[in-house]
């Protein structure tokens, strides 16, 4: 208690002497944030030394670096490659955010995301959020001469967030075009002031308010810096908390946390391996991993125990042709007609899967069979397993998106228990896998169908953690 009192007095005294004390007192930021009496004190989100307090969501290990200019002023440099985001480690609700940014080339493209989810939305390298545009390009108009977007501080909702723009967009979009042209060009610093308060957001560019929106949802979440193809610098990132909403906001007004995930493509394919004799069929292009339908499985170099695994995937190219595929009963058996003949349906064949803990038996199927993706193949077809186990390994519904559209698996393993969500639907609410290995690598299956993947993450689950072991 005495230490806390001393720190409080110290901060109060220094604040009177130096208005920029927050830049000098970074070790005490947690004290500031936890003290109700200091909720309006500015918080330095960038400490000038490293990326402490930030999470690399889905970029490469070297996309975001800390540098100094010729005058010794520190800044965050984003290379722009690959496309993705860097977010704060914690969520914020009501606040004023000040920051400087400078594009190193023209055209330049980046963004600032407000009230963001913890990981990316399905099939895109960006998060659900409100985007404050940071662009250096000429204005873009449609063939009718209507202004569609600018590089002057547009505000718009992305990937499931909602808002009402202050001024109706000429094309009917949910987007606020700026009221004035205030941004400076290549090699010049610009200053943004964003006020995000009770579901309303306004943007001032170089001291002039130009854009705004209200009725925003979610209205609490992370703050993200965006990488989108070109190099950009950020500095002087400072957040001043505003009073919390009373009564507190509901759960559906808050972004999804999704804490603790590791992005499994941050080092490209260095943490994966395939059969060297069949290499070259898995390729990473920016944020997307593509497979041409040939070659071998793609395996993680590490083994994992209890975890939640996320992967987005979609079918591309031609199918394997028309095939008759069985209909499944609820207990996992194949349906038969009155004469005892198997019931089938003709489909265009696409087929792959995810191997869990190093074994094809615990494979979670990706396919367009009538039963839908998510089936645990080796256990459903194992006649030595009890009817209850086999039934639990059979999808409860078909939740696949149309061919060519993105899907998201969330596969959870804890002990012998597996749960599979497909597009937020529990296709396998809970299945027991007797004899499944305690740990093992994860594989994306080669099965002669071309497809793409992105947004591949893993995190520990309660009661266990990813277990990393050297590849044998």
pLDDT digits (tens, 9 = 90+) for 104-161: 999 999 999 999 999 999 999 999 999 999 999 999 999 999 999 999 999 999 999 9
pLDDT digits (tens, 9 = 90+) for 185-228: 999 999 999 999 999 999 999 999 999 999 999 999 999 999 99
Considering the chain, what is the average pLDDT of its residues?
90
d(CA 91, CA 165): 23
Q: Tell me what pLDDT residue 34 has.
A: 34
- Span of 30-34, 446-450, 465-469 with lowest mean pLDDT: 30-34
Q: Tell me what pLDDT residue 221 has.
A: 98
Q: Please, which residues bridge with residue 239 across strands?
A: 43, 97
Does residue 470 surpass a pLDDT of 60? Answer: no
Cα dist from 457 to 32, 85, 116, 237, 462, whole Å: 33, 14, 17, 28, 17
Q: Tell me what pLDDT residue 340 has.
A: 85
d(CA 29, CA 296): 50
Tokens, residue 118: 């913890």
pLDDT digits (tens, 9 = 90+) for 221-264: 999 999 999 999 999 999 999 999 999 999 999 999 999 999 99
Q: What is the average per-residue pLDDT within 308-313?
A: 98
Q: Tell me what pLDDT residue 174 has.
A: 97
Q: Tell me what pLDDT residue 16 has.
A: 38
CB atoms under 10 Å from CB of 58, counted, come to 27
Q: Give percent of the chain above pLDDT 70.
A: 90
Q: Tell me what pLDDT residue 5 has.
A: 40
Q: Tell me what pLDDT residue 39 has.
A: 57
Q: If DSSP states are collapsed to H, E and C, what string results for the chain?
A: CHHHHHHHHHHHHHHHHCCCHHHHCHHHHHHHHHCHHHCCCCEECCCCCCCCCEEECCCCCCCEEEEECCCCCEEEEECCCCCEEEEECCCECCEEEEEEEEECCCCEEEEEEEEECCCCCCCCCCCCEEEEEEEECCCEECCCCCEEECCCCCEEEECCCEEEECCCCCCCCCEECCCCCCCCCCCCCEEEEEEEECCEEEEEECCEEEEEEEEEECCCEEEEEEECCCCEEEEEEEEEECCCCCCCCCHHHCCCCCCCCEECCCCCCCCEECCHHHCCCEEEECCEEEECCCCCCEEECCCECCEEEEEEEEECCCCCCEEEEECECCCCCECECCCCCECEEEEECCEEEEEECCEEEEEEEEECCCCCCCCEHHHHCCCCCCHHHHHHCCCCCCCCCCCCCCEEEEEEEECCEEEEEECCEEEEEEEECCCCCCCECCEECCCCCCEEEEEEEEEECCCCCCCCCCCC
- Nearest 10 degrees: Cα torsion 91, 95, 98, 101: 40
More confident residue, 269 or 463: 269
Q: Tell me what pLDDT residue 38 has.
A: 44
Does residue 374 surpass a pLDDT of 50? Answer: yes
Q: Tell me what pLDDT residue 37 has.
A: 37
d(CA 43, CA 104): 27
All structural domains of the chain with their residue ranges: 20-253, 262-460
d(CA 203, CA 133): 10
Does residue 13 surpass a pLDDT of 70? Answer: no
Q: Please, which residues bridge with residue 96 across strands?
A: 195, 240
∠ CA 315-228-43, rounded to 5°: 125
More confident residue, 411 or 17: 411
d(CA 152, CA 142): 18
Does residue 30 surpass a pLDDT of 90? Answer: no
Looking from the CA of 104 toward its CB, the CA atoms found within 13 Å total 13
- CATH number, domain 262-460, options 3.40.640.10, 1.10.510.10, 3.40.50.300, 2.60.120.560: 2.60.120.560
Q: Judging by DSSP bridges, how do beta strands 298-300 and 307-315 pair with one another? A: unpaired
pLDDT digits (tens, 9 = 90+) for 42-87: 999 999 999 999 999 999 999 999 999 999 999 999 999 999 999 9
Q: Tell me what pLDDT residue 331 has.
A: 85
Q: Tell me what pLDDT residue 40 has.
A: 79
d(CA 65, CA 76): 6
Q: What is the average per-residue pLDDT within 1-18?
A: 40
pLDDT digits (tens, 9 = 90+) for 267-277: 999 999 999 99
Q: Tell me what pLDDT residue 3 has.
A: 43
d(CA 461, CA 458): 10
Does residue 361 surpass a pLDDT of 60? Answer: yes
pLDDT digits (tens, 9 = 90+) for 324-354: 999 988 888 889 888 888 899 999 999 999 9
Q: What is the pTM of this model?
A: 0.88
Same CATH topology for 20-253 and 262-460: the answer is: yes
CATH of domain 20-253: 2.60.120.560
Say if residues 216 and 182 touch (Cβ distance below 8 Å): no
Q: Tell me what pLDDT residue 334 has.
A: 87
Say if residues 98 and 236 touch (Cβ distance below 8 Å): yes
């Amino acid at each position: 208690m005495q230490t806390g009192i001393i720190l409080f007095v110290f901060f109060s005294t220094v604040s009177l002497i130096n208005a920029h004390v927050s830049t000098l007192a970074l070790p005490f930021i947690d004290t500031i944030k936890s003290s109700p009496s200091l909720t309006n004190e500015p918080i330095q989100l960038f400490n000038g030394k490293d990326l402490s307090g930030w999470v690399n969501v889905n970029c490469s290990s070297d996309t975001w670096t800390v540098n100094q200019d010729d005058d010794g002023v520190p800044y965050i440099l984003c290379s722009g490659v690959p496309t993705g985001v860097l977010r704060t480690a914690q969520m914020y609700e009501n606040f004023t955010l000040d920051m400087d940014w400078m594009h190193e080339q023209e055209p330049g493209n980046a963004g600032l995301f407000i009230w963001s989810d913890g990981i990316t939305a399905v099939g895109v390298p960006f998060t659900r959020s409100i985007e404050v545009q940071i662009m250096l390009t000429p204005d873009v108009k449609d063939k009718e001469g209507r202004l569609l977007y600018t590089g002057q501080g547009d505000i718009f909702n992305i990937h499931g967030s909602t808002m009402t723009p202050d001024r109706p967009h000429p094309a009917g979009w949910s987007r606020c075009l700026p009221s004035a042209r205030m941004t400076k060009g290549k090699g010049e610093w610009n200053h943004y002031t964003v006020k995000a308060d009770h579901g309303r957001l306004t943007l001032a560019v170089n001291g002039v308010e130009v854009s705004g929106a209200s009725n925003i949802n979610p209205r609490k979440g992370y703050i993200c810096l965006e990488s989108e193809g070109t190099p950009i610098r950020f500095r002087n990132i400072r957040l001043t908390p505003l009073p919390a909403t009373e009564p507190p906001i509901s759960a559906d007004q808050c972004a999804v946390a999704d804490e603790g995930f590791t992005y499994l493509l941050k080092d490209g394919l260095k943490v994966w391996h395939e059969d060297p004799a069949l290499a070259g069929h898995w390729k990473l292009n920016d944020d997307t991993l593509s497979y041409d339908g040939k070659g071998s499985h793609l395996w993680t170099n590490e083994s994992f125990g209890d975890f939640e695994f996320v992967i987005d995937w979609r079918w591309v190219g031609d199918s394997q042709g028309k095939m008759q595929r069985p209909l499944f009963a609820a207990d996992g058996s194949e349906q038969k007609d009155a004469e005892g003949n198997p019931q089938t349906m003709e489909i265009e064949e696409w087929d792959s899967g995810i191997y869990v803990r190093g074994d094809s038996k615990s494979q979670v199927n990706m396919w367009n069979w009538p039963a839908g993706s998510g089936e645990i193949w080796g256990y459903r077809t194992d006649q030595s397993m009890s009817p209850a186990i086999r039934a639990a390994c059979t999808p409860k519904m078909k939740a696949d998106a149309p061919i060519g559209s993105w899907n998201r698996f969330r596969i959870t393993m804890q002990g012998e228990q597996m749960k599979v969500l497909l597009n937020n639907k529990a296709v396998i609410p809970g299945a027991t896998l007797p004899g499944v290995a305690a740990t093992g690598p994860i594989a994306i299956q080669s099965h002669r169908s071309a497809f793409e993947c992105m947004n591949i993450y893993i995190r520990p689950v309660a009661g266990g953690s990813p277990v990393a072991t050297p590849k044998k």
